[in-house]
Structure 1
Amino acid sequence: MSSKLEIQWTPIPNKFITWGSEICLYEVHQDRDNVFQSIKLSSTTSANLLATNTNHHYVKCLDIYPKSDADLLLAVGLSNGRISLSTFGPTEYDSLGLPGKELVPRHARQCNTVCWNTIETSWVAAGLDKYRSDNSVLIWDITKSSQNNDNSSGRLAVNTMAPAVELAKPIAEFGVSETAHSMAWFSSNSKLIAVGMNLKNIKFVDIRDPNKITNSTLTKAVFGVCMDPNDDRHLASFFENNIYVWDTRNFEKPILTLHHNKPVIKIAWCPTKYNLLGSLQKESSVINLYDIQHTVIGNEEVEPSVLERDVAPGSPHNIMSFSWHNTDENRFLTIALSGTITDYTVFDRITLNWAPTSNVVWTYGRKTMKYINDYPLQDISTKIKQRALAGYGLKAEIYKNGEIVDNEMLSNVWNWLYLSGKLVEDGLLNGTQCKHPGVQAVLKLDPSNNKSDHYSLLWSDLGNKNCQGVVRIFKHEDRDKALHLCSWHFERDSNKLTQFLEQLEKEQAYTRAAAIAVFNLKIRLAIDILSRAPENVSFGSSLNVMAMALAGFTDDKSSVWKQFCSTAKQKLSDPYLKAIFSFLTTENYNYESVLNESGVTVDDRVAFACMFLPDNRLHDYLKRLSDKLIEEGNLDGLLLTGTNQDGIRLLQRYLDATGDIQSTALIAVRAFPVEMFSETIKEWISSYRNLLDTWQLWNERAHFDIMLSTYWPADTAPQQVYVSCNFCGKSISAYMYGLTRGRGPFPRISGTANKLKMSSCPNCRKPLPRCAICLMHMGTTTGSGSGGDSNKIIEFPNWFTWCQTCRHGGHVSHMTHWFDEHSECPVTACTCKCFSVDSVSNAIIK
């Protein structure tokens, strides 16, 4: 086997050739069951050998006729300089007499490169070694015979295997006493060819006048000259360890130089992707890819940037050559020193674009783009947008905002804000200056000095004569306030407790209702609640068993019931059932298992602590719980912190954990006092505003600003709509310039002593536009009426008005009178139907 192995895709999409000591033709097919696999190319493709051509020895270069649809015609460059036209067996070219034909130079020397013209497809060019006074670049037209030329071409034999054939004289030749190393035709100009010559320059030659060099540059990078098939303004070549990329319009120096650690042996542009150049280094098992990004600033093209990438087709041996597929995107073949052929597709870097509306689009090859709308994403941004469209956070009755969201924690927060605000309004939480005080704010207990009263209740009070122990309950005015904030405002009122528990039963929260009944020492009521649980509810069948277990309650430490429940409670999955039996089986008033049960809601745990913990332990527990909830960003912690600095810290942690800038901003605006609007809250508000603007939710943004102005009057939006001067662009509003009566001279002020009117720009003094009806310069009064009220709104007839289509207008009173009788613009030669394009034309004030 020759030490040189080459591979090349043919114009027929599923066929390729390899050549070294012989030329082989293969056909590629997708793997299928029960199909013979000759050569495995990849996990999905294989190849079968179709034909072998052994007629040529010492092949130096080869190119395939570019218009081959069914049969292949090869131009084979040999070591003696001849170009042999060859095929694989009988073809359509036989009738043209092309197979076996040879194109022979005057003097024998090695052929370095052969190249078909992709436009004038009958032209083939050959680049030869140097020979004294002979040309090194010869271009033939294979359709012309020697009868049309002089006898200087001679009678030449094709080869030892075929009879003599008369050959045509080259249609062009140049490069006297030079060596042609490589060449490439321009893809948009069939007469122009680039040739790397003599190890010192690259020349552009127009074959219509080959003695005149169109353009050239001095460089040793004369090897592998190849034109970008998608843009022949760019050309690449290499020398030793460097690849050079040239701009054919400015050919003095390369626009890009790519350095390698090893000598380069081949380069090739990808025909299916713009500006993608592949290269192969000597003794390498990877293909180097360069995605060249050309950048234009103004009218000038700056130095391109390059995205480099290496791909390993999978062969452990050194790669000898590679070839890009002509039509399949980013697909190439490689051939290794061992003869292994690999079919490889380069997966593109995904160009991902995320629209402000949360729609995602990305490239999928050259011709396809894939798209995902925001529906399947369902991330926090999608939820924020859906909630904004539903008016979330803007409901006048604050608890209704919780009905919009499908998040239990957010729903609980809005309900608690409504409850705490109502308690403050009703005067039940007197002594606090906060609109929404937390438990820590109303519970002003000194941990070092127990002020709470405690009561010991006998279990016998529960109607069980076998219970001799007591239950210790703590009472204090501040504890009662805290219980109100937790919705446990029963105050030993059985009717309120019953109503609360009935509501929980309607919500099918049977275990929670039973637990609250037990905590309020109503065991019989808890048994009834569990017994009423229907079978179709979760734990329905087992809740009746729990009711029976609860009916056997006794506080006797040695009783079987207590011993069994102490052990069995850990196997319960429902947190409220676990809390019930932990409470009933506790010893020495140790309620840690109830207080630390995370499945029990925060308000229930806090209310339980307010009933059963002494002052010092209550203070410590609430502090620990508050710190934990703040750290987690759990908004249930607002029950403890209220709307203070700890509440701001809690909101920030919630924002960090969820990204829900909407709820963070809305809760801050609706619940926190204005004096606490720090830079942090202002930043939340600004971010939410910008988000609504990004989504172009203008109405929602306006409603938010209106709501904000009611809670934060100091944040008055600046004037955003005003009449500006055509010349300088500044506002002509007299109010903005402080224009009042008696303030001194002002440009072009006219009117009576009681009503000032300006008709020119107060900044540049240019006259204002004329009214289309009265032809007087338009102007507006300052608002200073006869009564001296400078804040009086000017009369509507004196306002400016203009058509949003043709931009013509005048005084409101004049324009209103005109359009009472006409629909067309009053300006001569303007055909705008101003009145008909006005969507509120029927509402014009008369």
Structure 2
Amino acid sequence: MYDETFKSCFTKGTVALFFVADLRTVDDAELPGVLRNIYPKSDTDLLLAVGLSNGRIALSTFGPTEYDALGLTGKELVPRHARQCNAVCWNTIETSWVAAGLDKYRADNSVLIWDITKSSPNNENNNSGRLAVNTMAPGVELAKPIAEFGVSETAHSMAWFSSNSKIIAVGMNLKNIKFVDIRDPNKITNSTLTKAVFGLSVDPNDDRHLASFFENNIYVWDTRNFEKPILTLHQNKPVIKIAWCPTKYNLLGALQKDSSVINLYDIQHTVIGNEEVEPSVLERDVAPGSPHNIMSFSWHNSDENRFLTIALSGTITDYTVFDRITLNWAPTSNVVWTYGRKTMKYINDCPLQDISTKIRQRALAGYGLKAELYKNGEMVDNEMLSNVWNWLFLSGKLVDDGTLTGTQCKHPGVQAVLRIDPSNSKSELYSLLWSDLGNKNCQGVVRIFKHDDRDKALYLCSWHFERDSNQLTQFLEQLEKEQAYTRAAAIAVFNLKIRLAIDILSRAQESGSHSLALNVVAMALAGFTDDKNSVWKQFCTTARHKLSDPYLKVIFSFLTAENYNFESVLNENGVTVDDRVAFACMFLPDNRLHDYLKKLSDKLIEEGNLDGLLLTGTNQDGIRLLQKYLDATGDIQSTVLIAVRAFPVETFAETIKDWISSYRNLLDTWQLWNERAHFDIMLSTYWPADKAPQQVYVSCNFCGKSISAYMYGLTRGRGPFSRIGGTANKVKVRFDQPHVPNSIIVSPQMSSCPNCRKPLPRCAICLMPMGTTTGNNAGSDTAKIIEFSNWFTWCQTCRHGGHVSHMTHWFDEHSECPVTACTCKCFSVDSVSNAMIK
């Protein structure tokens, strides 16, 4: 029964070490404790090396195997003197070598290393596969170990190094750990004084680290500095076993006495510069599921994080430790997580429509770079951003055509143009009749205010139209085309055109795109009366709260308002900011107008609502608004583009530069080099004083001094025949532009470094020196850039190259470098070329 149980649990490739208290195939009185260790070369069959209490090593299997024919099954390796076997350890490189650690016996060695392939005369007739214990007759010759050491010492534990088959670490005499080269056992290669000589285990993934324990402490050692442990792990109870996980780096498992859990320590080694700092430890406990105390455990040699445990009750558990999930975000918004050595890409940027994905898509489409500002608004599906770009276009146009005067700002806000001083110039009050309906029930008047500054504000809100002109009609027709029928009806009512509002709502019903509710609203408007005590007013005051459309709400709020209290209109969030501001500019007196605009501006700034730019304009409050918008949305792209295109550089350069740097870094992270270049070009157009510094220089490969700086100075007036170091520069003079008389281009050309005289590289095709500047002086202050085909290019791998046109023609037919002695496949390693081919 026990054989079958172990056979089912010792899976292929597993290296296990069990302390077994009872084996039915062994005499209990003779074997109170047994050590087992699996032959590391085991494939389909298992061969166990069993250390017995009399010091013998017995080779055993679970039944008929391939080892029977080799004479290994039942073979015993017998020491000269019987004593307790404390450790059995196979060599993982020289797989036929097995080491045994024994108790002290007078002048005998305590560490014996055998080669199991060598014959042993003591068990020629024992191939039963049982853990048989043979008593040797006197005078029978024993098999000799291939190496032995440790005279009059006790070996408590041992471990082979996985990278060197000749070195073994042994914990001896309860006082030291020794590294012994079995080729010269008398020579100790390294040692340290310590009582932690038990459970010696070398990290299978890194020979530099090994662990051992003593009583309640686990010690982790570094073989490069073996004087003291690099880490000490204190336990609550005495430790009975430790083992490194062979499938995960730096993971150490530990078992305490009378415990039902396995303690796991993930030891993180950190290197700063060339110095390795003290390691950090992530501790974790796992319960394999047995309610009884665990006696031992063993890691699986190939399956990740898998181990076996055996409990006091004899229950064997196969358990897999589930790793903590590590999430990683790629710059392109892909989410990647790992489990062990398996990696899965699960979420890409298609379903994950966060702000970074939108920024990347907009950057690829050229968002924010259009010359006409309103076209940038057409590239986004965000209504607020679209409104901002349209307003920037409108305000800039109003300033350019002289409609808005007396302001130094390119995009002034309503608060900037509305500078009414009640002490000097008050708004004029006008009373208008409801003449539109032609009905006797509307005998009252509507009070509106006029002022030049109010007119400027209405222009910024797109609301400036005379009552008798076609401007209002055209504006409302445009809204109808956009199917904004209720908004058009509300603006008509605010301009005292109730009949026009009824017509608009009727047309909306005829279009079939709206519900029957609009027809009912139109009928209600047809019965409008300004009598305060009328049934119509009482009914509409109650019914407006049941309407869901914000513009229908404000229509009846306006028509039923008492004492010119329009708070319900001004505070309706569903109405656009420009409509509310325009309404306030028409119907609020000066003092209330300023208070309302200030309150609304503060509210929009705090919310980060870009519609607030209508009020603030491009001033300090506008910068605060952009910062709040950035904090709320993370949209660094729109923040930067609006700031660069609209705000004055001389006032806000320092603040905006931080945003620009962040956006540049974002484009660089995504490797959007072209988009980054287009952004920099746009930036230099609007901020000419903030041109990017030169980042690429031509310098000599020998002396390191700049060649490009010398050639730049040559074309700037140092003279075509000036001398550096007593040597005249060669100058190439050729006629160009035959349609322009007497036009020549003077192009300096060099064949050697002007500083150290070393020859400059030559084009691999035409063999001409690559010494012609790209900026040529044609006798004027304007430099002419030569054609791109005459520029220089080179392979980033082999560093050979030449003129662009020559290299392009060469690689149209070849993939290998044109230099004869070079075998570099330049075209094949070019990622851009490969992408074009695909």
Give the corresponding residue for 2:831.
none
Distance 1:330 1:770, change over 3 A: closer
Tell me whether 1:471 sits opposite 2:446 in the alignment.
Answer: yes
CA RMSD of aligned residues (A): 4.8
Out of 387, 401, 409, the position equivalent to 1:412 is 387
Structure 1 position 265, deviation (Å):
2.7
Distance 1:445 1:335, change over 3 A: farther
Give the corresponding residue for 1:603.
578
Distance between the aligned counterparts of 1:632 and 1:81, measured in 2? 81
Out of 349, 358, 365, the position equivalent to 2:340 is 365
Q: TM-score, normalised by structure 1?
A: 0.79
Query: 1:458-507 CA distances to partner (integer Å, 9 max, x unpaired)?
Result: 44653343334432222222112211111112221452222222222221
Give the corresponding residue for 1:556.
531
2:590 alignment partner AA = D
Structure 1 position 662, deviation (Å):
1.8
Give the corresponding residue for 1:313.
287
Asked if the contact 2:604–2:610 (Cα under 8 Å) also holds between the matched residues in 1, the reply is yes
Give the corresponding residue for 1:748.
726
Distance between the aligned counterparts of 1:157 and 1:89, measured in 2? 8
Asked if the contact 2:22–2:32 (Cα under 8 Å) also holds between the matched residues in 1, the reply is no
Out of 564, 569, 575, the position equivalent to 1:594 is 569
Give the corresponding residue for 1:529.
504
Give the corresponding residue for 2:51.
77
- Is the deviation greater in 685-694 or in 340-349? 340-349
Distance between the aligned counterparts of 2:17 and 2:35, measured in 1? 13
Out of 717, 733, 743, the position equivalent to 2:710 is 733
Asked if the contact 1:138–1:170 (Cα under 8 Å) also holds between the matched residues in 2, the reply is no
Tell me whether 1:444 sits opposite 2:419 in the alignment.
Answer: yes
Asked if the contact 2:25–2:131 (Cα under 8 Å) also holds between the matched residues in 1, the reply is no
1:305 alignment partner AA = P
Give the corresponding residue for 2:199.
224
Structure 1 position 440, deviation (Å):
0.9
Out of 92, 105, 117, the position equivalent to 1:131 is 105
Instruction: Report SS of the residue matched to 1:540.
Output: coil
Distance between the aligned counterparts of 2:66 and 2:617, measured in 1? 90
Distance between the aligned counterparts of 2:70 and 2:510, measured in 1? 91
Asked if the contact 2:296–2:310 (Cα under 8 Å) also holds between the matched residues in 1, the reply is yes
Distance between the aligned counterparts of 1:93 and 1:358, measured in 2? 56
Distance between the aligned counterparts of 1:724 and 1:664, measured in 2? 39
Distance 1:561 1:449, change over 3 A: farther
Asked if the contact 2:597–2:615 (Cα under 8 Å) also holds between the matched residues in 1, the reply is yes
Give the corresponding residue for 1:626.
601
Distance 1:565 1:287, change over 3 A: farther
Distance between the aligned counterparts of 2:571 and 2:601, measured in 1? 13
Asked if the contact 2:722–2:729 (Cα under 8 Å) also holds between the matched residues in 1, the reply is no
Give the corresponding residue for 1:21.
21
Structure 1 position 350, deviation (Å):
5.0
Distance between the aligned counterparts of 1:741 and 1:146, measured in 2? 96
Distance 1:234 1:539, change over 3 A: same
For 1:106-145, list aligned pairs within 5 A. 106-142=80-116
Tell me whether 1:289 sits opposite 2:264 in the alignment.
Answer: yes
Distance between the aligned counterparts of 1:757 and 1:18, measured in 2? 83
1:401 alignment partner AA = N
Give the corresponding residue for 2:519.
544
Tell me whether 1:660 sits opposite 2:635 in the alignment.
Answer: yes
Structure 1 position 236, deviation (Å):
2.1
Asked if the contact 2:222–2:230 (Cα under 8 Å) also holds between the matched residues in 1, the reply is no
Asked if the contact 1:395–1:401 (Cα under 8 Å) also holds between the matched residues in 2, the reply is yes
Distance between the aligned counterparts of 1:419 and 1:464, measured in 2? 39
Distance between the aligned counterparts of 1:251 and 1:723, measured in 2? 48
Structure 1 position 231, deviation (Å):
3.6
2:645 alignment partner AA = R
Residue identity (%): 72
2:534 alignment partner AA = S
Asked if the contact 1:215–1:251 (Cα under 8 Å) also holds between the matched residues in 2, the reply is no
Distance between the aligned counterparts of 2:800 and 2:55, measured in 1? 77
Distance between the aligned counterparts of 2:785 and 2:358, measured in 1? 46
2:169 alignment partner AA = A
Q: TM-score, normalised by structure 2?
A: 0.80
Query: 1:361-419 CA distances to partner (integer Å, 9 max, x unpaired)?
Result: 44432243536544343332222222122121121211111111111111111111111
Instruction: Report SS of the residue matched to 1:291.
Output: strand
2:547 alignment partner AA = L
Structure 1 position 70, deviation (Å):
5.0
Out of 344, 360, 363, the position equivalent to 1:388 is 363
Distance between the aligned counterparts of 2:351 and 2:47, measured in 1? 53
Asked if the contact 1:81–1:104 (Cα under 8 Å) also holds between the matched residues in 2, the reply is yes
Structure 1 position 627, deviation (Å):
0.7
Instruction: Report SS of the residue matched to 2:470.
Output: helix
For 1:121-200, list aligned pairs within 5 A. 121-142=95-116, 146-147=120-121, 169-172=143-146, 173-200=148-175
Out of 276, 286, 294, the position equivalent to 1:302 is 276
Give the corresponding residue for 1:346.
321
1:733 alignment partner AA = Y
Distance between the aligned counterparts of 1:296 and 1:163, measured in 2? 54
Instruction: Report SS of the residue matched to 1:678.
Output: helix
2:171 alignment partner AA = G
2:283 alignment partner AA = R
Distance between the aligned counterparts of 1:310 and 1:59, measured in 2? 31
Asked if the contact 1:100–1:162 (Cα under 8 Å) also holds between the matched residues in 2, the reply is no
Distance between the aligned counterparts of 1:672 and 1:388, measured in 2? 21
Out of 684, 691, 714, the position equivalent to 1:709 is 684
- Is the deviation greater in 583-592 or in 604-613? 583-592
Instruction: Report SS of the residue matched to 1:384.
Output: helix
Distance 1:573 1:448, change over 3 A: farther
- Is the deviation greater in 553-562 or in 165-174? 165-174
Query: 1:289-343 CA distances to partner (integer Å, 9 max, x unpaired)?
Result: 3334456788x77356334222332767765433322222123344566777665
Distance between the aligned counterparts of 2:719 and 2:121, measured in 1? 106
Give the corresponding residue for 1:49.
none
Distance between the aligned counterparts of 2:259 and 2:437, measured in 1? 89
Distance between the aligned counterparts of 1:448 and 1:270, measured in 2? 86
Asked if the contact 1:669–1:708 (Cα under 8 Å) also holds between the matched residues in 2, the reply is yes
Tell me whether 1:582 sits opposite 2:560 in the alignment.
Answer: no
Distance between the aligned counterparts of 1:774 and 1:539, measured in 2? 76
For 1:637-786, list aligned pairs within 5 A. 637-719=612-694, 723-726=698-701, 727-730=703-706, 731-733=708-710, 736=713, 740=718, 747-748=725-726, 750=728, 764=755, 766=757, 769=760
Query: 1:83-110 CA distances to partner (integer Å, 9 max, x unpaired)?
Result: 4445556666666676666554444432
- Is the deviation greater in 600-609 or in 219-228? 219-228
Asked if the contact 2:286–2:321 (Cα under 8 Å) also holds between the matched residues in 1, the reply is no
Distance 1:135 1:615, change over 3 A: same
Give the corresponding residue for 2:832.
none
Distance between the aligned counterparts of 1:540 and 1:649, measured in 2? 42
2:545 alignment partner AA = Q
Distance between the aligned counterparts of 2:767 and 2:331, measured in 1? 48
1:571 alignment partner AA = K
Distance between the aligned counterparts of 1:493 and 1:336, measured in 2? 97
Distance between the aligned counterparts of 2:661 and 2:41, measured in 1? 64
Asked if the contact 1:102–1:158 (Cα under 8 Å) also holds between the matched residues in 2, the reply is no
Asked if the contact 1:11–1:68 (Cα under 8 Å) also holds between the matched residues in 2, the reply is no
Asked if the contact 1:610–1:618 (Cα under 8 Å) also holds between the matched residues in 2, the reply is yes
| Count of residue correspondences | 785
Q: Structure 1: which 5+ runs fail to align?
A: 1-5, 24-51, 838-846
Tell me whether 1:260 sits opposite 2:237 in the alignment.
Answer: no
Give the corresponding residue for 2:3.
none
Give the corresponding residue for 2:489.
514
Asked if the contact 1:9–1:17 (Cα under 8 Å) also holds between the matched residues in 2, the reply is no
Asked if the contact 1:631–1:650 (Cα under 8 Å) also holds between the matched residues in 2, the reply is yes
2:84 alignment partner AA = Q
Distance 1:496 1:343, change over 3 A: farther
